[in-house]
Every structure is written in C-alpha cells, then in structure tokens.
Amino acid sequence: MFEVLEEMDVDFGEIMDQDSDEEVLSDDTGCVSDLNEHDTDHAEKFVSSPEIRALNSHTKHCMIQCYYTTGGALNVCAACMIRLADTDVVGMYLVRKHDIDYIDALDGRSCTNCGVSMYTIFPCSMCPLCTH
C-alpha cells in the first residue's frame, strides 16, 4: 500500500550559481490545464434514490490523494507547501496516489501542518482517473 521513496541528489551549488533575475517557472508547463484557459472539466450524474440506498460499506470507491512529503512524518497540503516555499526547504516529493477499495478500507492523509484532508473520495463511476 505504501511506496518507498528514494532520496534525491540535489546540487545546491549549481542552483545558487543561477541568475536570480531569471523568472522561475514550475515544471507544470504543458499540462492539460495549460492548453485552453476556457477548458474546464465538469461532470454531473443524476443518482436515483435506489442507487443512493444501495451505497454501503461494500460499495467500491476511489480515493485520490495529493500532497507534498519529505518521505517521513511531514506531509503537507498545497496551501501549506506554498507557505513553506519561502523557507529553506531542501526539497520534497509531490505524491499523487489513486486507491480503489471499500469505503471503510480507504485511509487518506491529513496535512501535518493545518490538518486539512489531502484526499477526495469518489464513486468509481465518477472518478476522473478511472473514467478518463
């Protein structure tokens, strides 16, 4: 269930030698969200009363987690990571994890800084990763 994260080698001397006048862009260019500013992903599905009553602890659901971590005890949400970006953070891993299981078996992480949940649970039929 948990994956082992490998330590990354970072050459801080090379980073410090770079021009500070250069604009620093994140490596998220080319993402689907960058292709069209008017392109939004929106899905709706009517759920009937019998379908709602059929939901129980044996219904499979998907959980998508997204958080930053050191690989240890520190796990922070995007908002807290933005606040940490101005500190002397050596580097962190960005984790996106997709789990499919029964609702009672899904266990998501919460931010160790602010306590907000860093996961969203969907019925499998509405999961953006499963239905894409």
pLDDT digits (tens, 9 = 90+) for 74-131: 899 999 988 887 777 778 899 999 999 998 899 999 999 999 999 999 888 888 888 7
Asked whether residue 35 is domain-assigned, the answer is no
User: Which percentage of the chain shows pLDDT scores above 90?
Assistant: 31
Asked whether residue 131 is domain-assigned, the answer is yes
The pLDDT assigned to 123 comes to 86
Asked whether residue 66 is domain-assigned, the answer is yes
CB-CB contact of 95 with 68 (8 Å): yes
- Give the chain's domain count: 1
CB-CB contact of 122 with 64 (8 Å): yes
The pLDDT assigned to 67 comes to 94
| Domain range enclosing 75 | 62-132
Asked whether residue 21 is domain-assigned, the answer is no
Say if strands 119-123 and 93-102 run parallel, antiparallel, or are unpaired: unpaired
User: Which percentage of the chain shows pLDDT scores above 70?
Assistant: 69
For 57, what's the count of Cα atoms within 13 Å in the CB-facing half-sphere?
Answer: 2
The angle formed by the CA atoms of residues 95, 101 and 104, to the nearest 5 degrees, is 105
- Of 3, 13, 10, 1, give the one whose Cα is nearest residue 95: 3
35 Cβ neighbours under 8 A, 6+ residues apart: none
Asked whether residue 57 is domain-assigned, the answer is no
Asked whether residue 120 is domain-assigned, the answer is yes
E-strand ranges in the chain read 60-69, 75-76, 93-102, 119-123
- The pTM (predicted TM-score) of the whole model is 0.61
